Structure 1
Amino acid sequence: MSYSKVDNYNEEITGKLMTSYRDVLGALGEDPDREGLLKTPERLAKAMQFLTQGYHLDAKAIINSAKFHEDVSQMVIVKDIELYSMCEHHMLPFFGKAHIAYIPNGWITGLSKLARVVDVFSRRLQVQERLTVEIMNAIKETLNPLGVAVVIEAKHLCMMMRGVQKQNSVTTTSAFDGEFQKDSTRSEFLKLISADLH
């Protein structure tokens, strides 16, 4: 019995991307018909669709799918959320972790939904600065909390593999709204995401 993998991809998009990637391989001086490269255009076409699936996802709908009325107003933090994205300038990956907090104002959402929101926006061609703000805005506009905070720490392969080739640099971006614009609240959040509480 032979192995058969079932994938769900848009066949039209896959075909167009495969043609383009064959041309790219040829332009780089490779032979697209070489055994090791025969399936590379198809693999790339499917990989790119997977890595950019966030264009077809709705962050607000995800949060609303598990939105609950709860009379609490204490800070909720989900930290160390893994993220993988693609730099829109060089289409090379950047990866790291996101830390999210919000202060409920009558509504909470399932904790996993915050991680899914990170995926929605990271699975697009991105810059880290915009990614940080988009995550914050989706939570703000859906839950209407008293405040939202997002901090992202990431390594960028466009800095590590090419250009300045700095292997140990980490980029940190932050976005704060509402109560997190106050020094005391922001400081509490930053202290908690820095603490090793596990």
Structure 2
Amino acid sequence: MATPPLPKVDRPAAEAAVRALLLSLGQDPASPELADTPSRVAEFWSERLAGYAMDPAADLRPLPGVLAPVPVILERIPFVSTCEHHLAPFEGHATVGYLPGEGGTVGLSKLVRVVQAYAWRLQVQERMAQQIAEALETHLRPAAWGVQLVAVHTCMAHRGVKTPGVPVRTTLLGGTWAQNPPPPFRG
């Protein structure tokens, strides 16, 4: 199920919230070092949440003409997302691929845009993988598909167990690849 879009970032409200946060942390938001911080943070979050305005369906339109049904796999697509539980970043790479079926083939950059559309939202890795997979299934109707995300979560590195550098792998496969995945999805 797709995440509902959030309203556009209310910059004045975001800036006021950052000022309040700084005050609650015992900091002076009017100091020379912090005076521009509320504006910078509001702009940061506007960029960080840009995925809510992106429509993966618009990117997953088939190319014209008949193309050979060969596997299309993009490996190591970099992404940065934001953990919805801690508002902390997690980053890694995605491998996304499909074996064209009745839905046709799309341009390679379109797969990158689908990863970005879901990464640039408040997110959890498992849902992000599912959303990418559902977008492929729904709009391309491939004979097979695969999504693998490998990421390091700063919420795990900087709080709780404080264990940095532990990658988390999430893999979803469908169609004929569910039983016999190609090498990029095997490990």
After TM superposition, the structure 1 = structure 2 runs for residues 19-98 of structure 1, keeping only pairs within 5 Å, are 19-64=16-61, 67-98=63-94
**Residue 166 (str. 1) matches residue 150 (str. 2):** no
Question: What are the ranges of 5 or more consecutive residues in structure 2 without an aligned counterpart?
Answer: 1-7
Q: 1:187 to 1:78 in 2, by over 3 A?
A: closer
d(CA) in 1 for partners of 2:65 and 2:128? 28
1:179 aligns to what? 176
Which amino acid in 2 is paired with 1:34? S
180, 184, 190: which one pairs with 2:185? Answer: 190
d(CA) in 2 for partners of 1:71 and 1:189? 22
d(CA) in 2 for partners of 1:67 and 1:27? 53
d(CA) in 1 for partners of 2:27 and 2:51? 31
Equivalent pairs counted in the alignment come to: 179
Question: Does the aligned pair in 2 maintain the 1:69–1:108 contact within 8 Å?
Answer: no
Identity score, percent: 32
TM-fit CA distance, 1:57 = 0.8
Question: Does the aligned pair in 1 maintain the 2:75–2:184 contact within 8 Å?
Answer: no
Question: Does the aligned pair in 1 maintain the 2:171–2:185 contact within 8 Å?
Answer: no
Question: Does the aligned pair in 2 maintain the 1:84–1:96 contact within 8 Å?
Answer: yes
TM-fit CA distance, 1:187 = 4.7
**Residue 129 (str. 1) matches residue 126 (str. 2):** yes
d(CA) in 1 for partners of 2:185 and 2:64? 26
Question: What are the ranges of 5 or more consecutive residues in structure 1 without an aligned counterpart?
Answer: 1-9
CA RMSD, aligned part only? 1.5
With normalisation by structure 1, the TM-score equals 0.86
Structure with greater helix share of residues: 1
2:99 aligns to what? 103
3-state SS, counterpart of residue 60 of structure 2: helix
Deviations 1:53-108 (A, max 9, x none): 111110111222x6334342221100000000000000000000000110001410
Which amino acid in 2 is paired with 1:137? E
Question: Does the aligned pair in 2 maintain the 1:132–1:175 contact within 8 Å?
Answer: yes
d(CA) in 1 for partners of 2:53 and 2:129? 19
d(CA) in 2 for partners of 1:175 and 1:190? 9
1:13 aligns to what? 10
d(CA) in 1 for partners of 2:173 and 2:34? 46
With normalisation by structure 2, the TM-score equals 0.90
Q: 1:160 to 1:68 in 2, by over 3 A?
A: farther
d(CA) in 1 for partners of 2:98 and 2:182? 14
Question: Does the aligned pair in 2 maintain the 1:155–1:170 contact within 8 Å?
Answer: yes
d(CA) in 2 for partners of 1:85 and 1:168? 16
Which amino acid in 1 is paired with 2:146? A
